[in-house]
Amino acid sequence: MVAYFFNLQNRENLKTVMKMSKHFLFALLSSCVVAVFVHCQDQSGFISLDCGLPEGSNYDDVDTGINYISDAAFINTGDSKTVSPVFSTVSTVLSNKQLWYVRTFPENIRNCYNIKVTSGTKYLIRATFMYGNYDSQNKVPDFELHLGPNLWARIRLYNESRVLPFEIIHASTLDYINICLINTNLGTPFISAIELRPLKNSTYVTQSGSLMLLARYDMGSTTNRSVRYGDDIYDRIWRPYITSTQLSTKSAIASSDDYHPAESVMSSASTLENSSERIFVYFETFDPISQFYFYLYFAEIEKLQVNQSREFNIYLNDEMWFGPVNPTYLNTTTVFSIAPIGKGMNYFWLNKTKNSTLPPIINAIEAYTVKEFKQSQTNQSDVDTIIKIKSTYGVNKHWQGDPCAPREYSWDGLECSYNGYDPPRIVSLNLSSSGLTGNIAPDLVNLTSIQNLDLSNNNLNGSLPEFLTKLSYLRVLNLSHNSLNGPVPGFLAKLTSLRILNLIGNKLTGSVPAELVRRLEDGSLVISCDGNPNLRCYEKKKNKFVVPVVAAAAALFTLLVALAIWLIQKRRKEQAFGYKRNDSLELKSRSFVYSDILRITNNFKRILGKGGFGTVYHGYLGDTQVAVKILSSSSSQGYKEFQAEITLLMRVHHRNLTNFVGYCNEGAKKGLIYEYMANGNLQQHLSGP
């Protein structure tokens, strides 16, 4: 953004003004010198992190009196580095200790600070960067700065000594914020300092979005030095803007609203020598669709005589914006936007009224652009739960920032649902082979949208807890290869959404309860429970006569239907596949349509092998790997193999046979879905390379 301040007799020079060089602003914004205005003020709510400062260290800044602490407690990644001595002796850095250290992130794409805040409170958040050749590479990196799951700014420093602060006014709806550095493969991200300052919620009100600072000027500076805390209670940094004519006073300046601009800023003002002139302030950004909010501050600092008056109107882009303004003696008046102002370029005219004998004045100005953060953060309950689970089990994963958003940086082992602007929800959690010990954590029930839970290949013990029945959307529960003990409880049948239950390789005892066996037999549930020495997987204690009769009748029925289909096929063997859907495959709960097969195999992306039946493809059912056999239309014996294999897999369960997951029987499109075996097939192991 570019800003200029001019005294103009008329608008004839406007085009010349707009063509002026923009390099002036970069030099102005790069300055980081601060004035010594240290007052004894309350720093409650301030969060001041010197990034890279050794863990456990802290200090009081000599200029502001603000207490800075190490950032080590707010992030568990990154390395602490010091800037090159060449840069630490530069005057702007020498007086600003927060620039001596940096935290750099050579590993991981996304690294995030987690900072506790008060939910709903508006904060001024400032992130500061100075490269300082900390790595002796003389190569300034380029990376992204994110606030939560949303892009805040692109960090481009251009040279080693440039100090680049980014400020935003933002209110978090959660009780924490994440500030993240994103590696874009253009150098290693780093950061020098992070500062949070609570504001009054009555200030900087927008219709939507947050406010990113473009400029904050002390328009009548007489010192050419920046002003911040403790002269400014919110620690806003006011940059000096020198003009040809200034007014100043040593008297105290009051502030009657909640904005409270720094008193030293308000004790001076820019004005004009010729009362017929008008003040012109011009702003431009490189984004033509930006929306702005402006805050103009006025205070009369001259004791006017009886025959003197100061009154002026404010014009924005040639239209009357506010007025008349009659600055109050030694008291601040704030004029601000109540709605966003469009265009990439805006200019103000301050023009005295006919009743005024004195020219207009301006003491300070702030300009912000609206930053819309459209990506919602993950549901707060899900975030709290997954963090507790990580703490309970000591999960050693690179879990930083928002669990689900942005989608490309979601946490390893998680899958989430996304529905417009609604907060994402965790629907799948895979903690397989994560070194988990102890009981199944009760916190899991707070993942109320979970559909797939994989806790396999750990060392969990204890019994199967009843609180699992509260996971009303759970479809796949994999508890295989743990040390779970006790009986398989019948209350698991209450999980009516459950389709796959894997209990292989535990220490469970007794028999699978009748409630679960009934669901197994009606096809609504697939149970795998081999490898439990003291567990009888599918024995039922009741109806010992009825069950064998029903099973025999079902087997006979299956055989008769298979025979009928074989006879029909024999008569039509020269015809293409014209089967009807109502053949012998009646396990409706295991039935998949062809579109499901396409989704599961990612449009048949990966081939595992080929045989007389057809081609076998790799796929995913949720987070579970599966193998999908597709019946080939060129195979004359394919359908018989298809029929025989599905009959076998529906009736036989053994630890040395792959588990049957489901089938597709949609006209000529037929396929089987079963457990994926990662170590290849028998032929490969027998024949060798």
Q: Are 170 and 204 in contact (CB under 8 A)?
A: no
Q: Are 513 and 525 in contact (CB under 8 A)?
A: no
Which residue type sits at 345?
A: M
Give 489's contacts (C-beta < 8 A, 6+ positions apart). Answer: 463, 464, 466, 513
What number of other Cβ atoms are within 10 A of residue 116's Cβ?
11
Could you give the angle at which helices 638-651 and 546-571 cross, rounded to 10 degrees?
Answer: 170
What DSSP line would sit under 358-390, residue for residue? S---B-EEEEEEEE---SPPP-HHHHHHHHHHH
CA distances from 66 to 32, 48, 229 (A): 16, 8, 8
Q: Are 271 and 246 in contact (CB under 8 A)?
A: yes
- Give the whole-angstrom CA distance, residue 199 versus residue 123: 5
Instruction: Beginning with the edge strand found earlier in the chain, give each strand of the sheet holding 345-352 in spatial order.
Output: 2-8, 278-284, 345-352, 312-316, 319-325
Q: Are 645 and 672 in contact (CB under 8 A)?
A: yes
Residue 238 per-residue DSSP state:
B
Q: Following CA atoms 668, 672, 678, 680 in sequence, which dihedral angle do they give, to the nearest 10 degrees?
A: -70
Structure tokens at 326: 């009659």
Structure tokens at 156: 């481009």
552: part of which helix (H) or strand (E)? helix 546-571
Instruction: Give the number of C-alpha atoms closer than 13 A to the C-alpha of residue 377, restricted to the C-beta side.
Output: 18
Instruction: Say if strands 193-198 and 239-240 run parallel, antiparallel, or are unpaired.
Output: unpaired
Any known ligand binding at 629?
A: yes
The radius of gyration of the chain from alpha carbons, rounded to an integer in Å, stands at: 35
Q: Are 182 and 146 in contact (CB under 8 A)?
A: yes
Q: Are 393 and 437 in contact (CB under 8 A)?
A: yes
Residues comprising the binding site for ATP? 629
Residues comprising the binding site? 629
